[in-house]
Amino acid sequence: MPNSRPRPRRGAGSGAGAAGRDELVSRSLQSAEHCLSSQDFGTAYAHYLLVLSLAPELKDDVKETFQYTLFRWAEELDALSRTQDLLGCYEQALELFPDDEVICNSMGEHLFRMGFRDEAAGYFHKAVKLNPDFSDAKENFYRVANWLVERWHFIMLNDTKRNTIYNAAIQKAVCSGSKSVLDIGAGTGILSMFARKAGAHSVYACELSKTMYELACDVVAANKMEEGIKLLHMKSLDIKIPKHIPERFIWRRNCGEFDSCMGAFTFAAKDGEETIEPYTTEKMSRVPGGYLALTECFEIMTVDFNNLQELKSLATNKPDKIGIPVTKEGILDAIVVWFVLQLDDEHSLSTSPSEETCWEQAVYPVHDLADYWIKPGDQVMMEVSCQDCYLRIQSINVFHSEHEMEGGKSFTRNKDLLSFGNEAELCSALANLQTSKPDVVEQTCVLESTEIALLNNIPYHEGFKMAMKKVLSSLTPEKLSQAMDTQCQNNEMSCESGLSNADRSIPEPLYVLDVSEGFSVLPVIAGTLGQVKPYSSVEKDQHRVTLDLICEANHFPKDTLEFWLRHVEDESAVLQRPKSDKLWSIIILDVIEPSGLIQQEIMEKAAISRCLLQSGGRIFPQHVLMFGLLVESQTLMEESAVRGAERTLGFTIAPFINQFQVPIRVFLDLSSLPCIPLSKPVELLRLDLMTPYLNTSNREVKVRICKSGQVTAIPFWYHMYLDDEIMLDTSSEASHWKQAAVVLDNPIQVEMGDELVLNIQHHKSNVSITIKQ
C-alpha cells in the first residue's frame, strides 16, 4: 500500500479561512491513514473525498493512495452486493480524476462482472485511449470490443460488391424522385452518405447503439456531410412525426422485394445449437468438414416491403406447409436459409453459400426425427411462418418413398436415460436433454453451443477419466493406511460407541473440485472412480438440476455430487479447503476459453490451487504448451479492419471504425480458415500450473519461413497435458475449443528460408505475440 503523507499546500488565499482549511485537510489526511492501517476502507475513502474537495491541488500527491483505498472499498461493497454505492464511489472518483486510466479500467471490470458489457467496454476503451501502453486495459478492451462494434461491421464495409450495388440502387431511387431518406440502423452511416451524395435533400439516420451513433457522427463530419444528414440516437420505433422527422418517407432502407431461398444440407461434423432465436448463423463455405446438399435450392416465400398489408399479414398468417423432394442420400442435420435481396428491378444481392459476401447463412437444426437418414424419392415436409417476427421452420417430418410418414420422437423421457457404459454415451444423453422438445420441464437444460460441443468431445472426457483414475489410484493406499491407523487407535472407543469394525474401516473420501466455467460432467465422471467426493462449481440452477438428473439416471447415490458454491459465501471464495482439516486430491481448472484465449486470472487460480492440494494431489491440466505458425490470410485481414477508402467507395470511414479493431481474432477454425501456411508450427509458450515458478514472462522464438508470401497473421492453439502422457489438443477435429490468431496491422513480405523472431510476453493471464523487426 502506498504510504506517503503529502503536506497541505497553502492556496492563494490567506488568513484564518485558509488556516482552518489547512488544519481540516491535515487532520483528514491523518484520519485517512489511521483508517487504512485498521483496514477501515470506507471511512478512509470518505476522508480522502473531503481532502480532495477542500484541497484539489493535492490530487497528484494522494492519487496512488486514493486509488488503493477506492479499490479496496469497492471490493467490500461488491461482496456486500451494494451495487449502487459501488458505482457511486467510482462516479465520485472519476469526477475527481476524469483522465485516470486505472480508475476507468477498474470501473469497467466491475461493470462487466455485473453484466453491463456495453458500458464496461466503453470504460475499457477510454482507458486505452488515455494510456495506449496500459496492458490490463488493452486486454480487457480486446475481450469486449465485440460489444462495442460487432465484427461484422468490418466485413460488411470491406464488401465492395455489396457497397457498390447498394450505392447504385440508392442513387437510382433518389434520381427517381425519393429525395427524403430514412436510414434505420445506420451503423457507420455509409448508406446515408450514399443517399446524400446521390442528391437527397433530407437524410435521417437512426442508430440505437451509443458507440455506433458517436462513430457515425465522426464519420459524417469527416466526410463534410453533417449539414445534410441528421443523426438520431434512438430506437426506430420511438421516432415521432414531426417531433424527430418532419414527414413520412417514400424510400426506406432495404426497400423492395426479396426472395428467400432455402435448401436442406447435411454437415460432415454434427453440432447442436439452440439460442433465443429459432436459428443460428454459419458461414457455410467454412463449415469444418464441408457439407452435402440433400435437395435442390427452392424458393420459400417472397416479401414486398412496400406492401404494408402484406407485411401485416405475414406476421399473423398460419404456417405454410411445404414438401421438398430429396435428391441426395445422407443424414438430415439442418435446414439452411439465405436470401436474394431485390433492391429494385435492376439491382439485387444474394446471400447464398456460393456467393463471396459479408453475409452468413441462417441454420435451423433438425431435431426429433425417428430416422434422420433420407434418400432420393423421399420428401422433407415442414411448416414455415414468420410468426413473432422470426422466420420459423418447424414440424419437420420425412415422407419416405414407401409412403410412411415419420413423426418426431422425444428423447427426454426417463426410459431413454438408462445407465451408460461410458462417458461418450452419458454426454450424448445429456445433449439430447437440450436438443429435444421438453416433455417434462425439469428435465430440460438449455446449454450454450460451446457447452454442447464440449459434451460431444469424447477424447476430452476419456482423457480426464484416465488422468483422474491414475491420481486417485496413487492416493488410495495412503487413505486406506490412514483409515487402518485410525481404526487401531480408536478400537476401544469404537466398542464403547457401538460402532462395528466394518463401520470404522470406511476410509475418508478423496475430494475432487471442478471449477470449470459453464457446464461440465467431469465431477459426475470423478464420482464413478471409487471412494470420491466430487464437487461441481456450476452456478446456474438448471445446470445443477441436469447434473442431479444424470446422477440419478446412472444410479449414483443422491448425495454423491455436491455443488461447491452452496458451501462458500461468494463465488470469489470458490478456491478454499473442502473441510477445515482436509485438502483437495484433484482441482480441475478451466485454462482455455472456448474462443481460443487463455482464461483470465488462471495463473492466479493455479497459485491458490497449488496450496490447497494434499500430498500427491494434482491440478488438471498440469501444464499447457502454446503453439503457433505464420500464415497469409486475406480473410483475417478483412475481418479485422477496414482496408482503406477504396472498399467504402471513397468515403472516409476506416480511421474511425479501426479504432475498435483488435489484434486478436477469436473463435476461428483453422481447418477451414482460408489461409496459406508460411511456416511449420512452433512452440511459443509453456504455462506450468503445478510449478508456477518455472513460467517465464518473456521469450523469443525463431521461426523459419518454408514458403514465400506475406505474413498477415499468427494463429495459435494449445496442447493441454493432464499428466506427462495424456494430452488434449485444442486444434484437433474433435475439439470443442476454437482457435485464435494475432492479426498484423501491416503484412510482412517473406521469402522461403528467411527467419523471423517472435517476441512472446506473458503477463498474468495475458499473452501478446509480436514480430521483432
The DSSP annotation for 476-538 comes to HHHHHHHHHHHHHHTHHHHHHHT--HHHHTPPPPEEEEEE-SS---HHHHHTTSSSEEEEE--
Model confidence at 441: pLDDT above 60: no
Lowest mean pLDDT among 189-203, 328-342, 466-480, 682-696: 466-480
> Could you give the 3-state DSSP secondary structure of residue 103?
helix
Model confidence at 728: pLDDT above 50: yes
Please give, one letter per residue, the 3-state secondary structure of 5-34.
CCCCCCCCCCCHHHHHHHHHHHHHHHHHHH
Q: How many other β-carbons are positioned within 10 Å of the β-carbon of residue 488?
A: 8
Model confidence at 271: pLDDT above 50: no
Residue 589 vs residue 79, higher pLDDT? 589
* The predicted structure's pLDDT at residue 407: 41
Segment 425-434 shows an average pLDDT of 45
Q: How many other β-carbons are positioned within 10 Å of the β-carbon of residue 627?
A: 18
Q: Do residues 326 and 374 make contact, with C-beta atoms less than 8 angstroms apart?
A: yes
> Could you give the 3-state DSSP secondary structure of residue 683?
strand
Q: How confident is the model at residue 581 (pLDDT cuts 50, 70, 90)?
A: confident
* The predicted structure's pLDDT at residue 444: 64
| Positive/negative CA dihedral, 572, 575, 579, 580 | negative
First to last CA, the chain: 39
C-alpha span between 398 and 323 (Å, rounded): 9
Model confidence at 575: pLDDT above 50: yes
Q: Cell numbers of 436, please?
A: 429435444
Q: Cell numbers of 184, please?
A: 434505420
Closest CA to 536 of 559, 513, 517: 513
Residue 24's alpha-carbon distances to 5, 31, 53, 365, 769, in angstroms, are 14, 10, 12, 69, 51
Q: Give the strand order in the sheet containing 532-536.
A: 562-563, 532-536, 510-515, 584-589, 613-620
C-alpha span between 272 and 127 (Å, rounded): 39
Q: How confident is the model at residue 5 (pLDDT cuts 50, 70, 90)?
A: low
* The predicted structure's pLDDT at residue 248: 67
> Could you give the 3-state DSSP secondary structure of residue 610?
helix
Q: How confident is the model at residue 718 (pLDDT cuts 50, 70, 90)?
A: very high
C-alpha span between 169 and 165 (Å, rounded): 6
Residue 680's alpha-carbon distances to 236, 602, 631, 677, in angstroms, are 51, 28, 10, 7
C-alpha span between 467 and 667 (Å, rounded): 28
Segment 430-456 shows an average pLDDT of 62
Segment 460-489 shows an average pLDDT of 73
Q: How confident is the model at residue 188 (pLDDT cuts 50, 70, 90)?
A: very high
* The predicted structure's pLDDT at residue 443: 57
Residues 6+ apart with CB under 8 A from 619: 586, 587, 588, 589, 606, 609, 610, 613, 689, 690
* The predicted structure's pLDDT at residue 419: 40
Lowest mean pLDDT among 20-34, 431-445, 532-546: 431-445
- Mutual orientation of helices 101-114 and 59-79 as an angle, nearest 10°? 10
C-alpha span between 356 and 353 (Å, rounded): 8
Lowest mean pLDDT among 247-256, 279-288, 558-567, 720-729: 247-256
C-alpha span between 285 and 255 (Å, rounded): 28
Q: How confident is the model at residue 126 (pLDDT cuts 50, 70, 90)?
A: very high
* The predicted structure's pLDDT at residue 6: 55
* The predicted structure's pLDDT at residue 506: 63
Closest CA to 150 of 570, 614, 657: 657
Per DSSP, what are the bridge partners of residue 384?
320, 393
The 8 Å CB, 24+ separation contacts for 567-573 are 567/535, 570/79, 571/539, 572/79
Q: How many other β-carbons are positioned within 10 Å of the β-carbon of residue 50?
A: 16
* The predicted structure's pLDDT at residue 451: 87
Q: How confident is the model at residue 585 (pLDDT cuts 50, 70, 90)?
A: very high
Lowest mean pLDDT among 227-241, 341-355, 475-489, 743-757: 475-489
Residue 62 vs residue 567, higher pLDDT? 62
Model confidence at 479: pLDDT above 70: no
Model confidence at 420: pLDDT above 70: no
Closest CA to 563 of 528, 590, 536: 536
pTM confidence score: 0.79
- Mutual orientation of helices 59-79 and 16-37 as an angle, nearest 10°? 40
Model confidence at 275: pLDDT above 60: no
User: HSE (CB half, 13 Å, CA atoms) of 185?
Assistant: 4
Model confidence at 487: pLDDT above 70: no
Peptide bond into 365 cis (omega under 30): no
Residue 416 vs residue 128, higher pLDDT? 128
Closest CA to 605 of 516, 727, 532: 516
C-alpha span between 656 and 184 (Å, rounded): 20
Q: Do residues 325 and 379 make contact, with C-beta atoms less than 8 angstroms apart?
A: yes
Per DSSP, what are the bridge partners of residue 668?
739
Phi then psi for residue 744, to 5 deg, are -75, 145
Lowest mean pLDDT among 289-293, 429-433, 514-518, 597-601: 429-433
Lowest mean pLDDT among 269-273, 571-575, 673-677, 713-717: 269-273
C-alpha span between 185 and 742 (Å, rounded): 30
Q: Do residues 27 and 47 make contact, with C-beta atoms less than 8 angstroms apart?
A: no
Peptide bond into 594 cis (omega under 30): no
Segment 674-680 shows an average pLDDT of 96
Segment 380-391 shows an average pLDDT of 85
Model confidence at 421: pLDDT above 50: no
Segment 324-344 shows an average pLDDT of 93
Segment 708-737 shows an average pLDDT of 96
* The predicted structure's pLDDT at residue 265: 46
Exposed/middle/buried for 177, CB within 10 Å: 0-12, 13-18, 19+? Answer: exposed
Lowest mean pLDDT among 158-172, 322-336, 581-595, 758-772: 758-772
| Positive/negative CA dihedral, 623, 629, 633, 638 | positive
pLDDT tens digit sequence for 557-571: 777 888 877 777 666
DSSP state of 288: T
Segment 587-616 shows an average pLDDT of 91
C-alpha span between 203 and 436 (Å, rounded): 48
According to the per-residue pLDDT averaged within each range, which of 115-129, 393-407, 716-730 is highest?
716-730
The mean pLDDT value of the chain amounts to 83
* The predicted structure's pLDDT at residue 323: 92
Segment 212-217 shows an average pLDDT of 93
C-alpha span between 92 and 84 (Å, rounded): 12
> Could you give the 3-state DSSP secondary structure of residue 738?
coil
Q: What proportion of the chain, given as a percentage, has pLDDT over 90?
A: 51
Segment 76-105 shows an average pLDDT of 92
Residue 158 vs residue 417, higher pLDDT? 158
Lowest mean pLDDT among 208-222, 571-585, 658-672: 571-585
Q: How confident is the model at residue 437 (pLDDT cuts 50, 70, 90)?
A: very low
